[in-house]
Structure formats: C-alpha cells, structure tokens
Structure 1
C-alpha cells in the first residue's frame, strides 16, 4: 500500500511530499524542513506560492546533499529531487536546488528555444528569494553573481539567447537578462518596483508552469505589471544578437567590489540603493 504523503501548507497552498524510499526519521525531518524553507522563500518573493497544490517526489542516492531536481507542469505541477541518504544538517543548509526548482513553478511553459528564460529566472531568483527571508547574506548573493554572471556572456560565434543553447548562455545568460531587467525596472521607477513585480503580474494572470504561453505574452504581461516596457525591449535586443554588457561597470555602479579577495559594498555608488533593494531582507521564515 502506498504511504500517505507528508503535507505542508504554505500561504494556503498544499505541498504533498512523497518519499520514494524509507528515510530515517532524522532525514525525513531535515528534508521536510528544507522543503518548507524553500517554499517560504518562494512564496515571500512572489507574495503567493506559485501553484495551489504541488506534489514533490523525493528520491535517494548514496552520499550527501540534494544533487538533482526537475520541475514539471503536466498533467499538473510536480517536482522531483534526489537526496543523499547520508545527508546531515549542513548539507541542507547548502542546498539551492529545491528553491531553484520551486521557482520554475512560477513561470509558464514556453517554447524550447526560450528555455534560457526558464532557467535564467530560476538561477537569478533563487538566491534573492533566500536572501529576502534571511537564509543567505547579500554578500553571498552578490559574490556569486560576480563569479557566475561572466558565464552568461556570449562567446565567439554565439548568437542571441534564442539561438545559443550552451549551459552558460542558458543558465547564466538567462540570469544576466534578469539582472539587467531588474536594474532597469528599478532605474525607471525610482526603485519603487522591481523584477518581482513583473513576475507577480504573470502569476496573477494565470501564468504558472501548468500553463503554456508564448514568450511574447509572458513578457508583455510582466511589463504591464511593472508599468514599464523593460522586458520586451531587452528581449528585442538580446534574442538574436550576442549582447555583452560591461559587467565591471555594472558592479561598480551597484557598489559591488572585491577587496583583498573579500566582497565589499560601496553604499555611495550610483546604484547602491538598487543593489540594497534587490537583496534586502523582507520577511521572516514562516508559513
């Protein structure tokens, strides 16, 4: 007989967790805690959990940590993650995969050529959502961006995001698109709105992973919610052409710099207020 799922309620959404193996009581508790914390981060960022109900299947592997995950929208929202049977509490503190996969729930399924926006959003939003509930420090988030965003820059022979499907351009190129959009929305709205406002508009319009939309509809819906046409304009620039923004200049403007190997913030930089707003703690973890 199949075991009844463990169940969580996050902002009115139901999360059913089914273990595909028999975990120890300790491992079950740690895994459920990780799922709850990830769900709280995502719900805080979007001001709702992305779908009313989701099933999470938890598989196992030898060793430590969560090493893989997948999100699906058909026939209904569900996730799969694999956890190491020897995992301990620090392994779950280091986990980003569970939150990454939950972010996928908050965007409609789009054509395969646009896969970069799905992975880019998950790559960009995951650490920010965790920072906003205090799980990650702003220094950790911005340090990882400084290290990771260069992977998204076009390489010789690359085309735009719709036509270059390498790992770097898909994950980090998509994340770079999101960062540029977030900064531009904030610049054009005097820091009153950000990318989260655009993405919340998509969810309010029914654009979760359980729906299939043209990318043009998603971007137009997002821009209407933000009140500025940033996403549509940026997509027009980056879809077919290998755009390479000056990252060093962007970090300088945001007040993000390395000093003797450590990350430091310049709060007098031109866009320091935008940097602060993006990763500022907004909520305490909780249901």
Structure 2
C-alpha cells in the first residue's frame, strides 16, 4: 500500500516496484511495537483515528501534523460518505534532518485495528508541505478497499491515486483545475508500452499507479455515460464500503465488482476489468 515517491512522475522499474510491494506486505508487523511518546485520538465522522507519535520533534509542533491528518480523514469521509473503518491507528515517525511528508504505508487488521497506517514525516516539514501533501490522503483511501492479491495491486493503488485528489477537491483542499492538470501530467505514465500484457500481468510503477488511475477515470466516465450522469465511480466505491469490503477483509475482486456494478445498475466495471486485466488498452487522454 505504498507509493514511496515525493514526485508522482518519478520512475521505479517494474521489478523493483513489485519487490517493494511484496516486501512491505511481508513486513506488515513493522512499526507495530515502535515506542510511542505521544498519542491523541481524533474523530472522522463516527470513526476514531488513534494518532501515535514515535520519538522526535517537529519544527511546527505535533498539532500541525494532527491537523493535516484530520483534514485528510475529512476528505476521505466526504468522498465515501463515512470513514471506511470504525477504528484506525496512524503511527507517525518523525525523520530528523528531513522535510516534507516522505512516505506512507497502510495495512489492514494489524494489532487489533481494522487499519494501521505508518507515516514517515520530516521533522522540518513546512506548513506549505503539509497543506499540499497528497500522501496522507492517498494512504487513508486505501482503508476503503479489501486487500487484493498481488496481481490486482494496481486496482488498490489506482483507486487511491484517482480518489485522493477528487476527495481533496470536494473538501476545498485542492483546486479542481490543479487536479485535472495533475491527472493529465501523471496518467500518461499509465499508458501501456511495448510488451504490456494487461494490468494483472504488467506490474511496472507506471501501470500499477497511473494505469490503475486511468482505469478508474475511464470507468467513471463510462458509468456516467451509461446512467445519464446519475451515477459515477463514487457511488460504486461507496457501495463497497457500505457492504464491508474494506482493508481488513480479503474479499475476492469478483465480489467487489459485483457490488460496485449493482450499485450503479451497470456492468461497466466488470466488463472493463475483463478486458483491461489481460489486454493492453490505450486511452486517448487529450480527447477524453
């Protein structure tokens, strides 16, 4: 559940990205027993987030970091209609000599918590870096989808990459024009290249994150066209959360797609998955 990048356009080879993903899953207990110096619980709708801080001091103070996590949780709550899980733990690890929100990882069902997030944040993080951060929201979006197999990791990352900026726009944390500019800039990295075998079998960084996000964009447009704009991908993803298909479950993708399609009264997602999973699909992004 990690996108270890400060710049979304950075490139990581497919083999490295897949190895990193598998290694992180194997180390799912990492950070669970990290000593905690300060803890505060905040509300996200009717859900609770336990925010724990490991050793370290932020130049801005802990309150600024807590406020940013709350804002990210508000964006996710707004998009899904409620926070996806009833309880989540967020472990913040301050990094000395660093600035910015550096990296996040999310797991399900760890240490009695339906969701467990580990965030690495530079002790010298600035107010502007916190305000413009996308990583925390991205990681919290991961709580809204069941843990899928490695072959389908692209859908987990694609949904998080697509939903995150939209959720921030919906809560006034990001300008819509900036969101679309970012998508146009990033989604070109998701187009299939020579030798691509479909999203289930080509696990490069670009295909995993931006190929998955492009799948979501095309699905969103497809659902809106099929329903005369009465429904969209947001309705499909909310239905999955309402049915309980969150990160602390291991539901098969077929079940999730069935729930999502039923919510929109279409077969857009299941039909698209049948094609995109095993076949390279190019999208004319400027035309779309």
Give the TM-score category using the shorter length: 0.7 to 0.9
Is residue 31 from structure 1 mapped to residue 31 from structure 2 by the alignment?
A: no
Q: Which residue of 1 aligns with 2:156?
A: 118
Residues 136-176 of structure 1: CA distance to partner in whole angstroms, max 9, x if unpaired?
11100000111111100000011100000000000000000
Q: Which residue of 1 aligns with 2:258?
A: 220
Q: Which residue of 1 aligns with 2:142?
A: 104
Q: Which residue of 2 aligns with 1:267?
A: none
2:89 match: secondary structure: strand
Counterparts of residues 196-215 of structure 1 (less than 5 Å): 196-215=234-253
Asked if 2 retains the 8 angstrom alpha-carbon contact of 1:119 and 1:174, the reply is: yes
Instruction: Label 1:64 to 1:2 Cα distance change in 2 as closer, same or farther (>3 A).
Output: closer
Structure 2 Cα separation of the partners of residues 27 and 40 of structure 1: 21
Q: Which residue of 2 aligns with 1:67?
A: 102
Q: Which residue of 2 aligns with 1:255?
A: none
Aligned alpha-carbon RMSD (Å): 1.3
- Which consecutive aligned stretches of 4+ in structure 1 deviate over 6 angstroms post-superposition? none
**Cα shift at 1:225:** 1.1
**Cα shift at 1:60:** 1.6
Asked if 2 retains the 8 angstrom alpha-carbon contact of 1:55 and 1:79, the reply is: yes
Is residue 133 from structure 1 mapped to residue 133 from structure 2 by the alignment?
A: no
Asked if 2 retains the 8 angstrom alpha-carbon contact of 1:128 and 1:141, the reply is: yes
1:26 match: secondary structure: coil
Asked if 2 retains the 8 angstrom alpha-carbon contact of 1:27 and 1:87, the reply is: no
Residues 113-145 of structure 1: CA distance to partner in whole angstroms, max 9, x if unpaired?
000000000000000000001111110000011
1:23 match: secondary structure: coil
Is residue 158 from structure 1 mapped to residue 192 from structure 2 by the alignment?
A: no
In the alignment, structure 2 segments of 5+ residues that lack a partner are 1-34
Report the count of equivalent residues: 250
From 65, 75, 92, give the equivalent of 2:130.
92
**Cα shift at 1:50:** 0.7
Instruction: Label 1:174 to 1:2 Cα distance change in 2 as closer, same or farther (>3 A).
Output: closer
**Cα shift at 1:3:** 4.6
Q: Which residue of 1 aligns with 2:279?
A: 241
Asked if 1 retains the 8 angstrom alpha-carbon contact of 2:37 and 2:54, the reply is: no
**Cα shift at 1:80:** 0.5
Residues 1-26 of structure 1: CA distance to partner in whole angstroms, max 9, x if unpaired?
95562110111100000001143583
Taking structure 1 as the reference length, what is the TM-score of the superposition? 0.85
Asked if 2 retains the 8 angstrom alpha-carbon contact of 1:202 and 1:222, the reply is: yes
Is residue 10 from structure 1 mapped to residue 44 from structure 2 by the alignment?
A: yes
